[in-house]
Structure 1
Amino acid sequence: MGGGRVAESERYDNIISGDARLHGPTVQAGAIHGGVHFHTSGAAGLLQPPRQLLPVPSTFVNRVQDLAALDALLAQASESRSAQPLIVVTGPAGVGKTSLASKWLRTFQDHFPGGHLYADLRGHAANGPALPSETLGRFLRDLGAPTVPSDPQEQAALWRTLTAGRKVTVMLDNAFSAAQVRPLIPGDPSSLVVITSRRLLTGLVMDGAGFHRVEPFDADDSLTLLTRVIGRDRVAGQRAAAADIVDLCSGLPLAVALASARLAARPAQPLETLARALADDSSRLTALNVEGEITISHTLNASYIVLSEQARFLYRKLGLLPLRLFDPHIAAAVCGRDLPWAQQHLDELREASLLEDTGPVTARFHDLVRVHARARAESDDPPSVRQDTLRAMCDWHLRTATAAQQRITPIQYTLPRTYASSSAVPLPFDDDAGALAWLDERREELMVVLQCAADNAWHDTAWQLVDAMWPLFLRMRHYDLWIRAHEIGLRGAEQAGNAVAQRQMLNSGAIGLVAAGQPDKAAQWYARSLQAARDAADARDEGQALHGLGTCHQQVGDWPQARSHLLGAIDVWQRCGYPRGVALSRIVLGEIALALHNPEQAEAHFTQAYQDLLRLEDAHDATRALVFLGSAQAQAGRYREGRTAMESALAAFTASGAMHWQARALEMLAAGAEHHGDYSDASRYRARAVDLYAITSPRDARRLTPTGDSPDTGQPRL
């Protein structure tokens, strides 16, 4: 026996620690006089036990961690000694489950003298999975059974009898269900059974199975596989294109192997040609077809056709969505079903390894599965159905974001919404904090939905969604999204011909521009809004534009112009009866007074604004007035009183989830402590502020250094 095989033997012995077991006829004696005769018949007399394990393909790469994980499952099963080791290897189509199981089992083949049995259970074959009796019949014949009963139960009983006392390894490839597997478990507890399946086969938990999920390759392993097939020199000479190819194969070993085979058959073809073909979703699966080989399309179609009709319906719907993650709410919304239905069929897609979990309730497609799901939708569903699916996605996000907006900022006026589809899906939150958390966690998703609405010329949906996202911008300060969203929303309002919506987008977007340190561009937006408001004789919007122009001048330190515009806003709002706007302009006048080192005047503005906003039940802006009031009191020499007010505001901001304003409050507390000579507290407050700014606004985090920028005004939309 070679040295490598000895090493493998020792590794197995280390994994299977415990009492030694003897199998077959055995004699242990100090001395023997005369002959020893064994008489056997039937299967026990089989001269050559079956050796059916698949060869390890030449494309097998790495998988060191996976092999170690299988070793650990074997050791764990051997320690329990309750039943023979039963290991389930799961993962999506093409990820390399069969290759991994074959490689691992071959390292232990000498430890199973009773035979190595293999069966493809055809879990995803067009003509249906193999029946257990079909596989049992072949296994029984392979073990030398002279006759095979026709009754499945008798077959299973004979299988257990023939394998009792016989140490075998059984590989059951492409299993479809736990029920298909159970009759094939051998009768000897020292035998080893390895099952591969695209499905999770969670029912085998009851049989003591251990589970290991195989993940796609990383970029290095994918490149190693490509290099092994087409050669090191060819890859080295076209490194960028090679990297693009493995990236577009998304770590799926089958995809990389097929791409490699296609390139190997075309030695003169530049790698860039295949990279371009793979980059186009409409041709990616076709580009991975190789004559005579099982293709990605074939394997995914095999997984698809065995789904229930409802799961196939959901699969196609999700394939159309431009979203990275899915959850039961969006699945229910685009399918027009309820949450239990969505959860049941999402679980079916997970069980089939067509979806992979990314969190407690979210899942995603592997990139090539996404391409396949979209292709199935485009081939199976008419254009009107596909369009309705996207519209339902946009409407659900608009409806949910609007509900969050009305919960978080109920004092603010919400422009009317229009929906093309109905939905009875419940909201994914039930309080203010949950609503803000949903907006923040889904911010990139909302931007994707916004772009989808714009691309499909659903102009009203686009600007309405931007309007509904206002609490996200106000509380969390994602400036890049704020500005980009309002540019799209403004175009949508213009295309829709809605003058009121245009002014809303101009004002809300300009607030973001000011906060992001772009006062010149913000002033241009406000000037457009001011002219439009005056043309429409809309006093409330006129006041908003004047207020905004005042904040633009405030940010650049032009205090006289800032005061002039703010007083103009107050005058307009007092005449049209909008006290909330008046209070908000008073806050900015108080900030200017603080900047001019006039804390007494600032305190008067903040006190009046705080009282008015409390009366109007605008809790968030009242808290903003309170934190500024505390800062003015600290500057006026009443540090303890001011610190109490600022800490009270900080607690309110923390409870509401307004992370940016938590940071602003901490920054003011730091300034007040430093002014009072309490440098330890100042340092502690400032460090906490920097940590929060680092999440919401890196520019503000840098501003806290001596060479930083000037602060944003944090102004509200009115």
Structure 2
Amino acid sequence: MHDLLRLYATDKAHHDQPDADQEAALRRVLDFYTHTAHTAARRLNPHRPDIRLDPPAPGTHPQPLPDAPAALAWLDTEHPNLLAAQHTATTRGWHDTVWQLAWTLTVFHYRRGHRHDDLAVSRAAVDAAAHLPNPTTRTTAHRYLGVAYAAQGRHEEAIEHLHQALALAEHHHNPTDQGWTHCNLAWAWHRRGDDRRALEHATQAVDLFRSLDLPVCEANALNYVGWCAARLGDYDTARDHCQATLTHNRQHNDPENEADTLDCLGYIDHHTGHHHQAIDHYQQARTLFRRLAHTYQSADSLDRLGHPHAALGQHEQARTVWREALELFRQQGRDED
């Protein structure tokens, strides 16, 4: 029995058993998980656009999580219960809770490489969002499902859901959601192997976020432009964008995007023959990814780090980081990577 169900059973045992009391007890359990998970998600990525939760049911006491390490430890421990909580909310038709739990889990799933779980909770979120009146909820749900499909290499489904998200954001005149959807489309097209199309979407995201004066969002999109330009061989443009992004990241204390940008600079350095600089940038990225417990991106960055080592004839160092990357890929079930 999941701890979630044990907690529910214990709560029921301390009450008479009328249906209303049982329902209230279950609501307290799910509100505990939803509100604590929301706090955890905010600790992991405070720059992410937030969602509003209704106050928890009376008698609910969400767990305080003072910092990101505490949040990550709680999510690691409670992950099976959070999945069970979303499933329970789905069976009860508690649509707000279903999609909110998906929102709270997406950053954790990405960092830990839980791609199959992310796809499952994102599917449930899209189904739940169809019953909710807020168009931003539906847009976000389709975005996250598109990203989950892209992570698994299911490109047609990824693009389909991301275009649904973009259409919703445009129809409801939400330029912020449009910008994030263009970022997601950039990543999805890159995953599909079309970096030129990815660059088009990344550039549109930069323009939107710049017009809205959202510097953290703009920095995120600039990094996509830099990465796509690098993949297309335009290394000068790529470096300029990544250097601008790095300045933004450090000004706004955004270590996750900083790590991504350092990784991109490592890629640029390696492909322009500056292998020592590449190793330095990759090592800086590696340090940040480890601090963030970002095992998904750590695997990719370690894989890339091996190449400048090999180019310099440092074959033992290359083998060491490639073995570490391979172990992470295997742990995450990323056979295709």
Counterpart of 2:33 in structure 1 is: 397
Instruction: Map Cα deviations across residues 692-712 of structure 1 (whole Å, 9 max, x no partner).
Output: 22222x22xx3xxxxxx4x5x
Contact 1:333–1:423 (CA<8 Å) still a contact in 2? no
Structure 2 SS opposite 1:394:
helix
Whole-angstrom distance in 1 between the partners of 2:9 and 2:281 = 45
Q: Separation in 2 of the partners of 1:332 and 1:456?
A: 15
Q: How does 1:142-541 map to 2 (within 5 A)?
A: 323-325=1-3, 331=7, 335=11, 381-423=17-59, 425=61, 427=63, 429-541=65-177
Kindly state the Cα deviation for residue 332 of structure 1 after the two structures are TM-superposed.
10
Distance 2:226 2:310 in 1: 21
Secondary structure at 1:692's aligned position in 2?
A: helix
Query: How do residues 691-702 of structure 1 correspond to structure 2 at under 5 angstroms?
Result: 691-696=327-332, 698-699=333-334, 702=335
Across the aligned residues of Structure 1 and Structure 2, the Cα RMSD in angstroms comes to: 2.5
Output the CA distance in 1 between the equivalents of 2:307 and 2:237: 19
Change (3 A) 1:426 1:524: closer
TM-score by length of 2: 0.91
Measured in 1, the distance between the counterparts of 2:306 and 2:83 equals 35
Q: Is the 8 A contact 2:47 2:216 kept in 1?
A: no
Task: Specify which structure has the higher proportion of helix.
Answer: 2
Unaligned runs of 5+ in 1: 1-322, 336-373, 703-708, 712-718
**Length-normalised TM-score, structure 1:** 0.44
Q: Which of the pair has the greater relative contact order for Cα pairs under 8 Å at 6+ separation?
A: 2
Residues in 2 aligned to 1:403 and 1:598: alpha-carbon distance in whole angstroms: 41
TM-aligned CA deviation for residue 659 of structure 1: 1.4
Question: 1:385-431: CA deviations, max 9, x gaps?
Answer: 11111111100000110110111111112110024513564626443
Shifted more, 481-490 versus 510-519: the winner is: 510-519
**Using a 3 Å threshold, how does the CA distance of structure 1 residues 388 and 666 change in structure 2: closer, same or farther?**
same
Separation in 2, partners of 1:440, 1:433: 10
Q: CA deviation at 1:684?
A: 0.6
Taking the aligned partners of 2:242 and 2:315, their CA distance within structure 1 comes to: 26
Provide, for residues 235-271 of structure 1, a one-character-per-residue CA deviation record: whole Å limited to 9, x for no partner.
Answer: xxxxxxxxxxxxxxxxxxxxxxxxxxxxxxxxxxxxx
1:653 corresponding residue in structure 2:
289
Query: Residues 512, 326 of structure 1: CA spacing in aligned structure 2 closer, same or farther, 3 A cutoff?
Result: closer
**Which residue type is aligned with residue 268 of structure 2?**
A
Partners of 1:593 and 1:473 in 2: CA distance: 28
Change (3 A) 1:333 1:574: farther
Q: Kindly indicate whether the alpha-carbon contact (under 8 Å) linking 1:440 and 1:476 is maintained by their aligned counterparts in 2.
A: no
Report the secondary structure of 1:448's partner residue.
helix
Does the residue aligned with 2:50 lie in a helix, a strand or coil? Answer: coil
Partner of 1:551: 187
Q: 1:595 to 1:641 in 2, by over 3 A?
A: same
Cα distance in 1, alignment partners of residues 298 and 200 from structure 2: 30
User: Going by fraction, where is strand more abundant, 1 or 2?
Assistant: 1
How far, CA to CA, are the matches of 2:39 and 2:195 in structure 1?
39
The whole-number CA distance in structure 2 between the counterparts of 1:545 and 1:646 is: 28
Equivalent position SS for 1:442: helix
Structure 2 residue identity aligned to 1:604:
D
- Tell me the matched-pair count: 337
**1:489-547 alpha-carbon deviations (Å, 9 max, x no partner):** 12212212221111111112222221221221111111111111111110111122222
CA shift, 1:634, in A, is 2.7
Distance 1:530 1:649 in 2: 31
User: Percent of pairs identical after alignment?
Assistant: 20
Find the counterpart in structure 2 of residue 593 from structure 1. Answer: 229
In the TM superposition, residue 377 of structure 1 has moved relative to its aligned partner by 8.8
User: Aligned equivalents of 1:559 and 1:665: distance in 2?
Assistant: 19
Cα gap change, 1:405 to 1:334, in 2 (>3 Å): farther
On the 8 A contact 2:32/2:62 being kept in 1, the answer is no
- What are the ranges of 5 or more consecutive residues in structure 2 without an aligned counterpart? none
596 and 513 in structure 1: CA distance in 2 versus 1, 3 angstrom threshold? same
1:384 and 1:332 map into 2 onto residues whose CA distance is 14
Q: Is contact 1:587-1:606 (8 Å) kept?
A: yes
